[in-house]
Chains A and B, each alone.
Chain A
Amino acid sequence: MKFGILRFPGTCDEVDAQLACERVANAEILWHGDRDLKGVDAIVVPGGFSYGDYLRVGAIARFSPLMESVIDFAKQGGPVLGICNGFQILCEAGLLPGALLPNKTLRFVCRQVDLVVERSDTAFTNACETGDLLSIPAKHTTGCWYAPQALHEQVEANGQVLLRYAAGGNFNGSLADVAGVMNEAGNVFGLMPHPEHAVDPLTGSTDGLKLFASIRDSLAAHV
């Protein structure tokens, strides 16, 4: 099983994501100017500042040649994980509901946060138990998830919220403490915290590994 990790100009966390994926499977970095997904089984859109966050976070990367292929891949049911800037790009691309707004403090914040697992019967959380607390770092300036009321109600009703900030941990002002949200079809998931930075006991917790392992295991189950 192989993960493909996107690299845009300004992407910062792609090597971290590659190292995290390689702990559970194979991984390869894909260049934004190519359209070829090189036969990967799952896509990770990593964090960073694609195109310098110019215009609006994620707004330019969404139009890259590689993203066109990723959108096709997602529409065919391929699993796609967006982390931080990747989450922002997937929202811009219309693959995930809602939008990311500036943090309520208007500042960049880098902090270890606890996340509550809302569902464990998905391609992204099957290695967790519902109600588990995951300790994963978050770091961003634009991470306040927002959706209009009708859309938010629909997202909640469909069970698309997979991760929420634990009580008191919602530092960015996200609606209903949403930290990570899935598409309706269940094959695209984005979150603001960085699971790729929580895979090694030496550098912190290992809770992030569960998300990558879940993707691998869900694919294995389908084969």
Chain B
Amino acid sequence: MSDATVPAHRALGLTDAEYDLIIDKLGREPNAVELSMFSLMWSEHCAYKHSKKLLGQLPTEGPYLLMGPGENAGAVDVGDGLAIAFKVESHNHPSAVEPFQGAATGVGGILRDIFAVGARPIAVLDSLRFGEPDGQRSRYLLEHAVGGIGHYGNSIGVPTVGGEIYFEPAYEQNCLVNAMALGIAPHDRLTRAAATGPGNVLVLFGALTGRDGIGGASVLASAELGEDDADKRPTVQIGDPFAEKKLLECSLELLDSELLVSLQDLGAAGLTSSSSEMASKGGLGLDIHVDRVPLREPGMEPFEIMVSESQERMLCVVEPSKVDAVLAVCEKWETTATAIGEVTDSGHLRVLQGGEVVGDMPVPALVDDCPLYDLAPEKPSAPIYPTAPRALKASDDDLRATLPELLGSANIASRLPVFEQYDWLVQSRTVRRPEEADAAVLLLPDGAAIAVSIDGSGRRVAADPYRGTVEAVFECAANLACVGAEPLGLTNCLNFGNPEKPHVAWQLSESVRGMADACRALDTPVVGGNVSLYNESGGGPIYPTPVVGMVGRLPEAARAGRLGFAESGDAIAVVRAASPALPASELAKLRGEQLPDGLPERDQSALRAALELVRDAVRRGDLRSAHDVAEGGLAVALSEAALAGGLGAQIDLRKVGGSTCQDKPLDEQLFGEGPGTFVLSGQRELLEQLTAPEGVALSVAIVGEVGGDTVEIAHAGGTLSWSLAELAEPRSRGLADRLHDVQAA
């Protein structure tokens, strides 16, 4: 298929009907500048045309909400006149092409979203998915994505305080790189992006504009310039954390000096989306003089300037009398700044070159009039995902050999080899470091703290999009509970395949329904997020992967929970709101078992009661450790708590969780998964006072004691026992060995 035979709008991803609608809105055919801008603004990425209708289900109101979806980032109130702004975003495709720069610019982009709302970035977390780490390519992607995140976050002085990494065959062709950032701001510095005041000046500041990231619009170039030139254009952007560090300090100084009317970062679709969204939010128009935009290379076409995705740029609206002061602050930070346009009352976005209009579009047509599509969901009649071959060496009846192998498996092994490549302590707020607690804890000036966690199990969502997503939201809340935090708000990144396919549409709509229900069950609003669709190059769709990032608050940083056992002689208690199950677990995967069709139904009120019980106990200071049971089940959680504290533990499985668990096979009791189970330790008298509220299906039982240098689990048929050393070794080496392989290669 040669480009010459395909109409430009189709080559740019617009349907014939969408193109006709553009002609209708303009009253004429769009020129090349306008077509390139429409194609981006009406893309899935900017217009959410396949997901917007679904997202309306998500609750976006809550008592702590200050700024909801629609701004660069959402924000919640954390008391003392302070706000926390946060958001998660995907950078999947660039990372698959060039993992180092893709991941680095993913971090750069999400940080700009945070300081665009006036908040100083204080933390980054990452959610990463790759194919099985036995493959050279997956390990290459892991190594370089981690390197890119560290390069950007470390250099800009924002700590990377947490995150998660999972390996599944379904991500072999489509890795996922989602980055979340948090920022802090006084309430009155929170800044919106709306352009106001006709006559005000539009100032572009930061890096020069080049031909990077022109992406789909380069089809236009190829029509005009020949294919050879187009092929030279890099579509992955290159990040410069030093430029962004200056941009960050400069932006915050501009806001502190009250020199700006509004501020917006330049991300996907560059000037086109940032300017049109500013105009749309203000209900006004903008004139942009492309010949005033400082360029990195000469001879760029107007459409290239309008769609360039060069990194580290910001756009602001300034009153004319303050322009000189703005330029002076930018000069202090050695950041290029140029007045490139004006706010008008025309309601049109006009692109001018040398005073001549080269593009003229009504702002609502660009921003609001993209058609939104209904999905045609249909549950697939047969399994979508192939079953991976058995990877577990231990036989099904050798449970003693199973635990160390699980602890060394790629999805469960210690993440420290990765976290050590990140600066998790700069800015002096990190009260709980990675692997010290279930959630990262960051100190607030008044002695309170915020807690943050990011989570999302694609495999469990693949087994049951609705219940898997409910579990992901509760899992995040459980992590917060273990440090004593109450959820304030949630951000999500919905990573799915092609929504035009019925089975992906079904996964997406069930998942969003699950997220909405779980958020309501927890009274936690969604403050913003991101959707990444069409993740299915190669052999079919990725696992449906809704990644959830949750921010909570705890009143006393000094009482933040830890996951490791702390004192010999302490009692161990298990809180359980639901029975664990093996299907869709790590053990089932490693045994080569097929994904189940559906997960067990859970009582959401019992799940909520469980995490409230744990949270309140942590807040009272009654616990010395609290750890949520997740991948690998109770036996893995117990081992993690023992290894984190360097103390052994002896428990009796027959005391755990009442009658519902006792009739299950031993492997399911040890390694079964599901939400709502916690391992706690503390003084026996204090644990004995923990009781479930009346009428809730929740069990609390003291099951053993901390001490010694073995982990022992007594059960109906005997006792299983491991030395701490034989558990520590596989856990610490599981991921490290795979990383070091790459280094040697």
Contacts and interface: CB of A to CB of B under 8 A. Distances in A.
B428 interface: yes
A109 B420 contact: yes
B441 to A, nearest CB: 9
A202 interface: yes
A52 B154 contact: no
Contacts of B404: none
A19 B428 contact: yes
Nearest to B143: A107
B157 A13 contact: yes
A52 B241 contact: yes
A169 interface: no
A49 B155 contact: yes
A9 B425 contact: no
B242 interface: yes
Contacts of B157: 11-13, 48-49
B425 A202 contact: no
Contact of A9 (B245, B422, B424, B430): B245
Contacts of A52: 155, 240-243, 245
Contact of A111 (B241, B420, B558, B743): B420
Contact of B428 (A10, A16, A49, A53): A16
Contact of A54 (B242, B332, B428, B557): B242
B738 interface: no
B425 A204 contact: yes
A156 interface: no
B736 to A, nearest CB: 12
A109 B146 CA distance: 12
B333 A202 contact: no
A13 to B, nearest CB: 6
Given A109-B421, A110-B420, A137-B425, A10 B430 contact: no
A111 B423 CA distance: 9
A51 B241 CA distance: 10
A10 B421 contact: no
A139 B154 contact: yes
A54 B155 CA distance: 11
B242 A139 contact: no
B421 A203 contact: no
A197 B423 CA distance: 11
A200 B557 CA distance: 12
Interface residues of B, number: 32
B208 interface: no
Interface string B222-260: 000000000000000000111101100000000000000
A49 B420 contact: no
Nearest to A105: B743
Contacts of B154: 49, 108, 110, 139
A110 B241 contact: no
Contacts of A204: 425
Interface string A43-58: 0000011011110000
Interface in B329-386: 332-334
Most buried by B among A139, A200, A204: A139
B431 interface: yes
Interface in A63-85: none
Contact of B430 (A11, A15, A203): A203
Given A139-B154, A203-B429, A10 B242 contact: yes
Contacts of A51: 242
B427 A15 contact: yes
B443 interface: yes
A211 to B, nearest CB: 16
A196 B558 CA distance: 20
A163 B105 CA distance: 38
Contact of B246 (A9, A137, A202): A9
Contacts of B431: 202-203
B443 A202 contact: yes
A10 B245 contact: yes
Nearest to A31: B332
A108 B150 contact: yes
A110 B427 contact: no
Nearest to A141: B154
Contacts of A107: 421
B424 A110 contact: yes
Interface in B16-33: none
B156 interface: yes
Interface string B413-425: 0000001111111
A108 B159 CA distance: 13
Given A108-B150, A202-B558, A16 B240 contact: no
B150 to A, nearest CB: 5
B97 interface: no
B725 interface: no
Interface in A1-25: 9-13, 15-16, 19
Interface string B507-532: 00000000000000000000000000
Interface string B442-457: 0100000000000000
Contacts of B420: 109-111
B610 to A, nearest CB: 28
A202 B424 contact: no
Could you say which of B245, B334, B422 has the most chain A C-beta atoms within 10 Å of its C-beta?
A: B245
A13 B443 CA distance: 17
Contacts of B391: none
A45 to B, nearest CB: 15
A49 B242 contact: yes
* Most chain A beta carbons < 10 A, residue from B333, B423, B424, B431: B423
Given A9-B246, A111-B420, A139 B241 contact: no
Interface in B297-339: 332-334
A106 to B, nearest CB: 8
A41 B420 CA distance: 36
Contacts of B332: 33
Interface string A97-110: 00000000101111
A13 B334 contact: no
B426 interface: yes
Contacts of B242: 9-10, 49, 51-54
Contacts of B426: 12-13, 16, 139, 197
Contacts of A16: 426-428
Contacts of A11: 157
A200 B428 contact: yes
Nearest to B150: A108
A119 B729 CA distance: 37
Contact of B333 (A9, A194, A197, A203): A9
The 4 closest A-B pairs by CB, nearest first: A52-B242, A12-B157, A49-B155, A16-B428
Interface of A: 9-13, 15-16, 19, 33, 48-49, 51-54, 105, 107-111, 137, 139, 194, 196-197, 199-200, 202-204
Given A52-B245, A137-B425, A203-B431, 20 more contacts: A10-B246, A12-B156, A48-B157, A49-B241, A51-B242, A52-B242, A52-B243, A53-B242, A107-B421, A108-B154, A108-B423, A109-B421, A110-B419, A111-B420, A194-B425, A202-B431, A202-B557, A202-B558, A203-B425, A203-B428
15 contacts: A9-B246, A10-B245, A12-B245, A12-B426, A16-B427, A48-B157, A49-B242, A52-B155, A53-B155, A110-B421, A110-B423, A196-B428, A202-B431, A202-B557, A203-B431
